[in-house]
Structure 1
Amino acid sequence: NKSAGKTLLSFRPEISLKRIPFTGVSALEIMELLDNIIDLRPVPQVPEEVAKLRSRPQDPQNPRLAVVVPFRDSGDSSSQGLNRTANLEEFASHMTTFLTKAGRDYEIIVVEQEPGVIFNKAALFNIGYYLIRNDFTYMALHDVDQLPIDQRNTYAIPELPLHLCSASSQYNWQPAYNAMVGGALL
């Protein structure tokens, strides 16, 4: 899927969804809302080359992976969303190389939040799942600023949910939280 990764390295307005602020609603309400939004169904149009990749038969030996990335970029210097566009460009390039070397059949799906509302990463993951649920075997929930460095991490389909980011350089290679997962989850 090297070509798919290259296709998605830059902003493609023709595959963006209209922006809808989601705040204070449950996952079930989001799914119901998405089902009733005019122009959102059928699945949004994607570039022809991506649609071709998605429509090909799945290889049972290489299940199709969706890497869902919640995203927002903020000009506010006090926000964790500052300069996320640079993170996204680095993430797309790194993950394309990393997952191609691992031999994964994958696609990176960036779900962007409307600016001006409190960042709701869980809602964006729910929307990402909604958009990929029929075309992919499994998914990785991935922060844009977490990059895998060990090629032994192949992003293969796990038997159970797998925390991919239990330690990072940001925390001196120690777990950031004892009882939570974050960063990247298969």
Structure 2
Amino acid sequence: MKIAIFCGSSIGDNEVYSNAAKQLSKYLALNNIDIVYGGGNVGLMGVIASTAMQNGGKVYGVIPEDLQGKELGHTGITELKIVKNMHERKATMANMADAFVALPGGIGTFEEIFEVWTWAQLGYHNKPCAFYNTNRFYDNLFSMIDNMCQEGFMKKEYSEMLIKTSEPKELLEKINTYNPPKVKWKN
């Protein structure tokens, strides 16, 4: 199994985030779960990749050529694929992955997980989408998603399709037992 991890190219201001990233990455490596990620050697991205490699894991990075120098593409991973742009990066990662997990991060992390979640809702894939809610990082977002449902902009089943946890074992169990909801626009 390959899990795509979306996370910050920054490390954050609280070491709880890097510690949680290390814990998750080590757990995945020790359970023979490969990681697909954005290819950088900085921030939580670098923590995820380096920790998995240190624990015998396989890590596949995908980085756009214009970010190769800025994010310092990780050279110590299983494979680093350099692509033309962000669209190709996201498509490549989506095709490689069996599931998607968002760790804490910025707007790029949100954009990546929201896109694959939208694709799942529309039936473009049936892969699980998860938020790794370290330090309750995503609680306010979950409240906003609940509000979207309450106001009639999203069906509850599409909110409930998200995996929400901060525990590696629970994350993997929920990914392995995931059942997608019905497709939104099925004819």
Under a length normalisation based on structure 1, what TM-score does the superposition of the two structures give? 0.29
Under a length normalisation based on structure 2, what TM-score does the superposition of the two structures give? 0.29
Larger relative contact order, structure 1 or 2 (CA cutoff 8 Å, min sep 6)? 1
Higher helix share: 2
Higher strand share: 2
